[in-house]
Chain A
Amino acid sequence: MNHLETSLWLSGLLLITIFVIGAYRRDLIRQESLQEFERTKQALSLTPLPQTTKSPTLPLAKPSLSPDPVQSEVQWQSERTSGAVAVLRIARLDMEIPVHDGTDESVLSKGAGLIEGTARPGGRGNIAIAAHRDSFFRGLRDVAYGDLIELESFQRKATYRVSALAVVEPDDVQVLAETGEAALTLVTCYPFHFVGHAPQRFIVRAVATDLSPPVSRR
């Protein structure tokens, strides 16, 4: 076996190994994010209501917990952190993806990302979420009209039904605009098997079928 042959084999195996490890690592990060989301949700639901006035031993600022209405603010704040702010599920496609805030590469490498300036999970409006088409949103190539999408935030669990599928140009940001109804817009690159920066975007639009009331503590 000469040097060229050895180099080709080793390089090929190395790249394939990196590819496999990358996929495995992504799945680990996804699972960790989901667990972290559950823990945070649990912590919020277990957090006690604020105490009434109590004499402190010193005139220090006493921590005062935010009651239910402020829970959305916890979420608002957490959206500026590295933790997941929601979980996206499409049962038919066996997809369960943590949703983080933002769409830069560091965010999209660990899950889906909320597109800046669009509605937040837990509220009404057009919530736009993007993810890589070669990892977390790979399953979207099989999405179909009528599929149910569940979006669980710290506040509530909402169900959406896929109502439209489209392929648009990257500068067609009209798909992010408000639609006047509670909607969910999923964005990923298109074509799905294009190697490199795909020239178009695949859009899944779903409308709310069920918005559960905000979760209240206790």
Chain B
Amino acid sequence: MNNQKMFAFSTCLLALAIAGATQAQQPDFPNERTKPASCEDFRWNSDMTNDHPRVVDACQETVLADGVTWARLEARFVRVRNDGMVVFSIRGKGDRIIEQMMMEPADGQVAYINDRATEFRNLRASDSLDLYVAEGEYGWVTQPVASTARFTRVVAVAPDEIEEPAAEVAVQGRQEEAPRQDMVMADNRPLPSRLPVTAGNSYWLALIGGFLLLCGMGVSARRFF
């Protein structure tokens, strides 16, 4: 073995040693990886699918965390109610609304917006977040590796206990006047300073296209006469 080959062999060994050492220093955290199986193979809790058959359509993917399979759902935050319940709408493919639901977070439980822990009261309307359902379980958490201390408490609300939504605390704790049903339901955005521009550009296409065709006809006619 000449010097060049020895050098190449040593370099390879050194690279392997560095890679091995780096790998060994990786923290042993529960890796969240997409399960090869699709949502169709996910084993839903039968009570959950009986009560909420459409939740199956909301499954975006399945993930493995700490040996448990979870279905990931996408939700949009709506608001926090006076009684602390958090209102979400579960989204399906194409951002369609699957169901609206409420839950009461446990103490210290947070939502994760772009991997950033955020208290529910600090969420903004339409913030998107992931919810996870454990295989065979009835309920969900905001992180697939949440400990039982971070599980949200079960909430059952009788229909007659629900207040008119517009009369409740608005998003981000802003207290707003509660409109009665059938009163003006305006959004919070201010009126625009100008009326919207509603002129499309299709007329331009037709006009210029027609003009070019006329010119083409003119040139063609000139050849014949």
Contacts and interface: CB of A to CB of B under 8 A. Distances in A.
A69 B163 contact: yes
A60 B137 contact: yes
B200 A135 contact: yes
B38 interface: no
B195 A173 contact: yes
Given A40-B96, A62-B138, A118-B186, A9 B216 contact: yes
Contacts of B164: 69, 72
A68 B159 contact: yes
B182 A124 contact: yes
A66 B100 contact: yes
B51 to A, nearest CB: 5
Given A19-B209, A195-B203, A61 B162 contact: no
A19 B87 contact: no
Interface string A35-62: 0100010010001111111101111111
B46 to A, nearest CB: 11
Q: Which has the most chain B C-beta neighbours within 10 Å: A49, A103, A134?
A: A134
A101 B37 CA distance: 37
A173 B196 CA distance: 10
Q: Which has the most chain A C-beta neighbours within 10 Å: B95, B105, B215, B216?
A: B216
Contacts of A130: 195-196, 198
Contacts of B51: 48, 51, 54, 63
Contact of A67 (B95, B134, B159): B159
Nearest to A131: B198
Size category of the binding interface on chain A: 35 or more
Contacts of A51: 51, 156
A117 B191 contact: yes
Contact of B215 (A12, A48, A64): A12
A50 B156 contact: yes
A23 B76 CA distance: 33
Interface string B138-178: 11110000001001111111110011111000000000000
A22 B205 contact: yes
Q: Which has the most chain A C-beta neighbours within 10 Å: B105, B141, B182, B211?
A: B182
A114 B95 CA distance: 19
B187 A116 contact: yes
Q: Which has the most chain A C-beta neighbours within 10 Å: B52, B214, B220?
A: B52
Interface in B53-84: 54-55, 76, 78
B203 A64 contact: no
A91 interface: no
Contact of A15 (B99, B190, B200, B205): B205
Nearest to B189: A116
B35 to A, nearest CB: 20
25 contacts: A1-B220, A12-B211, A16-B206, A43-B98, A50-B158, A56-B137, A60-B138, A61-B152, A61-B155, A62-B154, A63-B51, A66-B101, A73-B165, A76-B165, A76-B166, A77-B100, A80-B126, A113-B196, A117-B189, A133-B198, A134-B199, A173-B192, A189-B199, A195-B203, A195-B207
Interface of A: 1-2, 4-5, 8-9, 11-16, 18-19, 22-23, 36, 40, 43, 47-54, 56-70, 72-74, 76-83, 103, 108-109, 113, 115-120, 122-125, 130-135, 137, 168, 170-173, 175-178, 187-189, 193-198, 201, 211, 214
Interface of B: 45, 47-48, 51-52, 54-55, 76, 78, 87, 89-90, 94-105, 125-126, 134, 136-141, 148, 151-159, 162-166, 179, 181-187, 189-200, 202-216, 219-220, 223
